[in-house]
Amino acid sequence: MKNKSKHWRIEHDDDGIIWLHFDQAKSGTNVLTEETLEELDGHLIEIEKLQPIGLIICSDKANGFIAGADVKAFSRIRKAEEAARQIRRAHAIFSRLENFSFPTVALIHGFCLGGGLELALACRYRVCRDDAATRIGLPEVRLGLFPGFGGSVRGPRLIGHIPALNMMLTGRTFSGRAARRMGLVDMAVPKRQFLTAARHMVLARPQPHRPTWLQRLPASGFLRPLVAALMEREVRKKANPTHYPAPFSLIEHWEKHIDSEDDMYASEVERVSKLITSDTAQNLIRIFLLQEQLKSQGRQSDFKAQRVHVIGGGVMGGDIAAWCALQGLHVTLQDRAPEMLSRAMGRAHGLFRKKLKQPRLVRDAFDRLMPDCGGTGIPKADVVIEAIFENVEAKQGLYQQLEPQLKKDALLCTNTSSIPLEVLNQALKNPRRLVGLHFFNPVAKMQLIEIVSAGNTDPEAARDAAAFALQINRLPLPVKSSPGFLVNRILMPYLLEAVELLEEGIPAPAIDQAATDFGMPMGPIELADTVGLDICLAVADKLAESLPVTVPEKLRTMVKKGRLGRKSGSGFYRYAKGKPQKPALAKGFIPPPGLADGMILCMLNEAVACLREGIVADADLLDAGVVFGTGFAPFRGGPMHYIRSQDPESMRALVQKQEKKRPGRFAADAGWDEVLE
C-alpha cells in the first residue's frame, strides 16, 4: 500500500500513534473522491492489523482538513443506482474507521465540510484549531442534498437531535469555538497546542462526547412527530418543497428511521442517491461549479492590493470602503461632504460589529478605514474606486484631477451603473486604464461584481480588477461596456413588465406570488421597492435611450410623489419596520394563466440578446452572473440553462405568444433561432 499511495501518507511516532496525513495529489484542496476514499480504505485495513496506540487523521494542505466530497463527480452521476453504490462504499469505509478498538482523532484546521466532517464524525474524537480559518459544517442542503456519508446518523448521535437537524437543514458552518460549544469537536485550541491536544486525546482516552438527556429527548416517540412538524413549518418559510425537496426529505428520514441506525443508513442511501440525480440538485451543483468558474476569472492575474482609496462616501462608496476594510485592506474614504463620511463610518462600524463580533477585531478593522477629505490616500493607493454621483461631467472632471496623482500601476475603477466606459475614459490621458467595478447594493450581501471593459480598456487592467474582486471575497464577472451591462439589463425588462401588469390591474401580491412560485427569491414588485423606485427609474430611463424599453408612467408618478419604496416607507407596498404590508388577495381571485411565464420570458429574452451581443463570454458565465446578480431561481440552473432544459417547441410557442400578446412591449430577440436550434 505504501508505495502505491498517492494521496495519503503514514507516519509512526514514538508513542506508537499512527498519523495518517491526507494530501491529495494534484489538488490544492483535499476532497473525497472515489480514488482518495479507496486509498483511505486500503490504509485503514493495514492500520487495523497493526493495532496502534491510536490513529490521528490530519491534512497536509494549508487551506484545511477536507472540503467535502467531490462535487464535480456528483455532476457526472446520471443514475441513482450508481450514487447508491458510492454511498454504500463510503458507509463501509467510515464504519471500518468507527469500529476501531483504539482511539481515533480527526485533527481539523481550515475547512472541514460535508464528507470531510462526516469522516471526522466517524472518529472517536475531534480536535480543531481555534482560529478564523476554521469552518466546520454539513452544507449539503445548499446543493439540494443532505449528508449521505453517515452524517445524518452520527450528527444527531453526537450533538443531539435539534442541533444536528438545524445544522443540516440550514447548511450553516461553525467556527472552532462554536463547534466546541455544540460538542461537535472535543477541543478547539490555538495552533501551538494543536498536535499536543490530538496526542493527549489518544493517550488520555477521555469519555467521548454524548448529548445530554434533553438533547436526546426530541426523538422519543411522543415528541418526534411534533418536532418534525415544527421543523417542517420552519423550513417551509424559506423553501418551497417542490423546488427544494432535500430538507423535507431529511426531516422525514429522521422522523421515520431514527430508532434504528441500520434503517437510517439504508434510508440515507436511498434518499440521497435519489436526490443527487434530481434536476434541483444537478442545477444547484451546476451553480456551485459556476461559482468556481467565476472565481477562476479572478485568478488570471496575481495582482494584490494593500491600499484602496474610495472617492464618494454615499450609499455605495461608503459601503465599498467598509467592505474592503473588513477584508483586511487599508482604506481611505474621500467625500466632499464630511457629513457623508461620518455617516459611512457609522455604517461601517455596524458592519464590523455584525461580521466580526470580537471587539479586538472590530477595532482593528476600524483602524484600517480612514476618512480622508483631502484625498491624501490617492498617491499611495493600489486601487482607486470612484463612486460619486452618476454624472458624466462630475466623473470626468474628477478623473482629470486624479490621473496625475495616481501611482504608476494603480488600478483606476468606476462604480458607474449606467455610463458607458468609453465616454468616461475620454477624460483620461491614458483611457486604457479605467475599468468598471460594478458593485451591487447592498454591497455586503451581493456577491457579484461586474468587471466592465470598453473596447479600448487594457485587458490586463480588467484582469487585475477581477483579481481584486476575488481578493475582497467577491465573484468577478467580466462584461462588455454596454447599457445596463449584464445584470441590470436582464433584470429591468422583468421589473418593468411587472409594473405594467400592475397598471393592467393585477394585484401586486399576485404578481409577486407568481414570480416566487417560479422560484425567484423575491417578487419583482417587492424587489423594485427594495432597490428603490428612483434607482429603477434612473436605470430604466438610461436603458430606454438605447434599447427598446418602455418606462411605465406609474413608475414615474410614484417617484414624483416621493414614494421611493422601502427606504421611504412606501412604494408599491407600505412598509412597517422594513417589512412590506401586502394586502390580501380578494376571495376567489384567480391569477391570469401564464402570469409568471410572461415576466420570466422578458428576462430570458434579454439573456438571449446579451449572449448574441457578446456582453459576456459564454452562456455559463451569463447564467452565473444572472443567478448571483439577480437571484434568478438557482435550482433552475440559470436562464440559458433553463431555456435549454425546456422543450424547444414549447419555448418557441411561448415566445410567439408573448409577442402577440404584448405588441410594442415584447419583441423576440434575433438570438432565439440559434438558441432553439
User: Among all residues, which ones are annotated catalytic?
Assistant: 438
| CB of 116 closer than 8 Å to CB of 109 | no
Smallest gap from residue 380 Cβ to ligand NAI (A): 18
Nearest Cα to 140, choosing from 174, 119, 115, 120?
115
Nearest Cα to 302, choosing from 478, 63, 466?
466
Residue with cell 412597517: 576
Q: Where are the alpha helices (DSSP H) in 504-594?
A: 508-518, 524-531, 533-546, 553-560
Residue 182, classified by CB atoms within 10 Å of its CB into exposed (0-12), middle (13-18) or buried (19+), is buried
536 CA to centre of own chain: 25
Nearest Cα to 57, choosing from 4, 102, 114, 3?
102
| The amino acid at 251 | I
Cell (9 digits) for 292: 468556481
Smallest gap from residue 465 Cβ to ligand NAI (A): 15
Q: Closest CB to ligand NAI among 104 and 416?
A: 416
Smallest gap from residue 336 Cβ to ligand NAI (A): 4
Q: Closest CB to ligand NAI among 29 and 441?
A: 441
> Which residues, at least 6 apart from 316, have a Cβ–Cβ distance to it below 8 Å?
387, 415, 439, 441, 443
Q: Closest CB to ligand NAI among 450 and 669?
A: 450
Tell me whether strands 434-438 and 448-453 are parallel, antiparallel or unpaired.
antiparallel
Q: Closest CB to ligand NAI among 389 and 589?
A: 389
> Which residues, at least 6 apart from 635, have a Cβ–Cβ distance to it below 8 Å?
144, 243, 244, 279, 280, 283, 284, 519
Q: Closest CB to ligand NAI among 393 and 504?
A: 393
Number of alpha carbons in the 13 Å side-chain half-sphere of residue 394: 12
Q: Tell me 95's DSSP state.
A: H
Smallest gap from residue 559 Cβ to ligand NAI (A): 14
Residue with cell 499511495: 5
Number of neighbouring beta carbons within 10 Å of residue 29: 16
Taking CB atoms, the residue at the shortest distance from ligand NAI is 314
Q: Closest CB to ligand NAI among 155 and 375?
A: 375
Smallest gap from residue 303 Cβ to ligand NAI (A): 22
Long-range contacts of 458-463 (CB under 8 A, 24+ apart): 458/432, 458/433, 460/301, 461/411, 461/432, 461/433, 461/434, 461/435, 462/435, 463/300, 463/301, 463/303
Smallest gap from residue 431 Cβ to ligand NAI (A): 18
Cell (9 digits) for 379: 498617491
Q: Closest CB to ligand NAI among 160 and 313?
A: 313
Strand partners, 135: 111
Q: Which stretches of the chain bind ligand NAI, using CB under 6 A?
A: 311-317, 334-337, 340, 387-390, 394, 398, 415-417, 439-441, 535
Q: Closest CB to ligand NAI among 311 and 492?
A: 311
| CB of 611 closer than 8 Å to CB of 640 | yes
Cis peptide bond prior to 442, omega within 30° of 0: yes
Spatial distance between the Cα atoms of 425 and 428, rounded to a whole number of angstroms? 5
Residue with cell 442545477: 283
Smallest gap from residue 567 Cβ to ligand NAI (A): 10
Q: Tell me 192's DSSP state.
A: G
Q: Closest CB to ligand NAI among 176 and 436?
A: 436
Smallest gap from residue 317 Cβ to ligand NAI (A): 5
| The amino acid at 144 | G
Smallest gap from residue 603 Cβ to ligand NAI (A): 19
Q: Closest CB to ligand NAI among 198 and 413?
A: 413
| CB of 482 closer than 8 Å to CB of 457 | no
Task: Look at phi and psi of residue 562 and say left if phi exceeds 0, alpha if psi is from -120 to 50, else beta.
Answer: left
Q: Closest CB to ligand NAI among 39 and 372?
A: 372
Measured CA distances, 89 to 8, 95, 269, 416, 537 (Å): 18, 10, 10, 53, 57
> Which residues, at least 6 apart from 612, have a Cβ–Cβ distance to it below 8 Å?
669, 670, 671, 674
